[in-house]
Amino acid sequence: MKFLDQAKIHLKSGDGGNGCVSFRREKYIEFGGPDGGDGGRGGDVIFESVANLNTLIDFRYQQHFKAERGIDGMGKNRTGRGGRDCVIKVPVGTEILTDERDRVLADMTRPGMRVTVLEGGNGGFGNARFKSSVKQAPRHANPGLPGEEISVWLRLKLIADAGLVGLPNAGKSTLLSVLTRARPKIADYPFTTLNPNLGVAHVDDEEFILADIPGLIEGAHEGAGLGTRFLGHVERCPVLLHLIDATQEDVVEAYRVVRAELDAYGHGLADKPELVALSKADALTPEDLEAARAELEELGVGPVMSLSAVAGQGLSEIARALLGPIRARRVREHAVESADTPPPTGWTP
C-alpha cells in the first residue's frame, strides 16, 4: 500500500429541510387550521480516528465529502427526518488544518476520537409554528438553513514512542529491522528509505513503537534531498535516537548537520531528549571507536553509545536507554488521564 501523509479534501455539511405549508381540511372535523411540519436538520461532517489505518491514501481517490440534506417537513405536523452525518475515518495521529494551513482544527491523537468539524443547517419552521390568535391561517414557512462548506488539509503524524534521525546511510533502517519485525528496504546507497517506517520493539517484557524516517542532509529545511517533510512523524516521540555512521571521517560534522536541520525545522524537535549512538561499530578498531566517541562527548551531548546492528552489538543497551524516557511519558499521560476521569457514582474520597 502506498504511503501518503498529506491530502486536501472538500467538506460540506447538509442543508436543513424546508418547512411545510399545509392546512388540515377534514370533512367531519369542525376545526381545521395549519398543520405544516418543520424541516429536518442537515447532517454533520464528523472525523473519527481508527486504529487500523496508517496512511491517507484513500483520500487520493475521493476528495469531496458531503453530508445528507434534511428532509422537508410534511402535513399533519410531521417533522422531516434529519440528514445522515458524514463520518470520515482517518488514521490516529491525523491533524486537520484549515485551507491556508495556518490553524489546526482538530488533532486526532487517540483511537475512537470523534470531532465534528461542520454542523448541518437547521430545518425551517412549518406554517403551524406561525399560528397565533391574530393569524389563524399563516400561509408561509421558513426555508432550511444552508450547511457549511470548507476545504481542509489532512496531515498524518505517525504515533511512535521513539524516532530515528541521522544522515542517509547511517544504519537507521538496519537497526529498525533488527530491533523490530519491520522489513524496510536496505541498500548501500543514500535515500534508500523514501517513506517513514514503523516497528514494534520488545525489551524487558515491554514494547514500544520505533519510527524510521528518511535521512536528512544539509539544507533539508530548504528542500534539499527529501527535505524535512517527514520530520513531522517524529514530533510526537518523547525521545530521539540520533545515529551517526562511525566510519565517517568527521563524526562531529555529521552530528552538527542533523542538529542544525532539527533546529531549523522547529516544532520542539531540538528540545526533545536525544540519545546519540555510533552505528557500524564493528567496522572500527576499539581505539578508533573510542576516539570518535570522545570527539562527540566534547560537544556536551552526554554519553555516546555504540552499536552494530549487523553484529548484534549494543542493541539491548540502546533499547533499554530508549525505554527510560518512554516510561516517563507514559506515567505522565496516565496521571493526566486519571485526573480527567470523573469518579464513579457513589464514590467518596
- Does the annotation list 194 as a binding residue? yes
- Does the annotation list 98 as a binding residue? no
- Does the annotation list 167 as a binding residue? yes
Across residues 124-142, what is the average pLDDT? Answer: 92
Q: What letter does residue 281 receive in the DSSP assignment?
A: G
- Does the annotation list 27 as a binding residue? no
- Does the annotation list 168 as a binding residue? yes
- Does the annotation list 3 as a binding residue? no
| pLDDT the model gives residue 186 | 64
| pLDDT the model gives residue 348 | 45
This prediction's pTM: 0.76
* Residue-range domain boundaries for the chain: 6-25+32-156, 162-338
Which residues are within 8 A (CB) of 27 and not within 5 positions of it... i.e. 6 or more apart? none
| pLDDT the model gives residue 349 | 43
Closest CA to 76 of 123, 37, 41, 129: 37
- Does the annotation list 172 as a binding residue? yes
- Does the annotation list 308 as a binding residue? yes
- Does the annotation list 310 as a binding residue? yes
- Does the annotation list 111 as a binding residue? no
Q: What letter does residue 101 receive in the DSSP assignment?
A: S
- Does the annotation list 11 as a binding residue? no
| pLDDT the model gives residue 173 | 86
- Does the annotation list 271 as a binding residue? no
| pLDDT the model gives residue 82 | 96
Across residues 288-293, what is the average pLDDT? Answer: 89
- Does the annotation list 282 as a binding residue? yes
- Does the annotation list 180 as a binding residue? no
- Does the annotation list 254 as a binding residue? no
Please write down the long-range contacts of 245-249, taking CB distance under 8 Å and 24 or more positions apart.
245/166, 245/167, 245/169, 245/170, 245/171, 245/278, 245/279, 245/280, 246/278, 246/279, 246/280, 246/281, 246/283, 246/284, 246/289, 246/292, 246/306, 247/280, 247/283, 247/284
Q: Looking at this protein, which amino acid is placed at residue 145?
A: L
- Does the annotation list 215 as a binding residue? yes
Mean pLDDT taken over the chain? 85
- Does the annotation list 128 as a binding residue? no
Q: 213 vs 124, which has greater pLDDT?
A: 124
Asked if residue 158 has pLDDT above 50, the reply is yes
| pLDDT the model gives residue 260 | 87
Q: What is the pLDDT of residues 68-96, one digit of tens each?
A: 999 999 999 999 999 999 999 999 989 99
Across residues 13-26, what is the average pLDDT? Answer: 93
CA–CA separation, 257 and 161 (whole Å) = 24
Angle (CA) 106 110 116, round 5°: 35
Q: What letter does residue 193 receive in the DSSP assignment?
A: -
SS3 245: strand
Across residues 28-32, what is the average pLDDT? Answer: 76
- Does the annotation list 314 as a binding residue? no
| pLDDT the model gives residue 185 | 65
Listed range (131-135, 231-235, 257-261, 291-295) with the worst mean pLDDT:
231-235
Asked if domains 6-25+32-156 and 162-338 share a fold, the reply is: no
- Does the annotation list 214 as a binding residue? yes
- Does the annotation list 171 as a binding residue? yes
- Does the annotation list 195 as a binding residue? yes
Q: 6-25+32-156: which CATH topology?
A: Spo0b-associated Gtp-binding Protein; Chain: A, (2.70.210)
On whether the CB atoms of residues 306 and 314 are closer than 8 A, the answer is yes
- Does the annotation list 191 as a binding residue? yes
| pLDDT the model gives residue 47 | 96
| pLDDT the model gives residue 347 | 47
- Does the annotation list 316 as a binding residue? no
- Does the annotation list 49 as a binding residue? no
| pLDDT the model gives residue 118 | 95
Domain 162-338: assigned CATH number? 3.40.50.300
